[in-house]
Structure 1
Amino acid sequence: MDSVEQRLIDLEMRITHHERMAEELSQVVADQGQMIDMLTARVRRLLARLQEAEGGWRPSPQDEKPPPHY
């Protein structure tokens, strides 16, 4: 095997490795995108529940009195 043929084989191996790595990274990015979407939806639901809970809350007069030790 001459040096040109060996260099071509080495380059093909490197290209194969880079293609596989690109596919794996693409899958990681896709998985992270799905996770971000799920977490975003969860945060929105939690914010809506928090706003509902705060909307019904009214401070009572007892909450505004100073503590008994004053």
Structure 2
Amino acid sequence: MMEMSALEQRLTELEMRMAFQEQALMEMSDALAASRMEATRNAELLRRALDDMKQSRGEFFADPDNEPPPPHY
């Protein structure tokens, strides 16, 4: 009977460890999902910023062929 108690204790301990591991896996999965969502948002923000920079650069550095000649010509 003493062996059965030790066996039950080991089984209970293993079940508790498994439950903690399952909880840890769920937390890591949630963290990974949140990280991926944040990375997607950051990539979109970067893309928009680069598009804005390209557009602004186009406004600052207009095509010289479309510019009127300087007044001294």
TM-score, with length taken from structure 2:
0.76
Aligned residues: 59
Residue among 13, 34, 37 paired with 1:34: 37
How far apart, in 1, do the equivalents of 2:12 and 2:43 lie? 46
AA of the residue aligned to 1:53? S
How far apart, in 1, do the equivalents of 2:5 and 2:36 lie? 47
AA of the residue aligned to 1:27? D
Q: Any residues of structure 2 matched to 1:1-70 within 5 Å, and which? A: 2-58=5-61
Aligned-residue CA RMSD in angstroms? 1.5
TM-score, with length taken from structure 1:
0.79
Q: What runs of 5+ residues in structure 1 fail to find an aligned partner?
A: 60-70
How far apart, in 1, do the equivalents of 2:23 and 2:43 lie? 30
Identical positions, percent: 29
Q: Secondary structure at the match of 2:61?
A: coil
Q: What do residues 14-68 of structure 1 show as CA deviations (whole Å, max 9, x unaligned)?
A: 0000000000110000001000000100000000000000012138xxxxxxxxx
Q: Runs of 4 or more off by more than 4 Å in structure 1? A: none
Shift of 1:13: 0.2
Q: Residue 63 of structure 1 corresponds to which residue in structure 2?
A: none
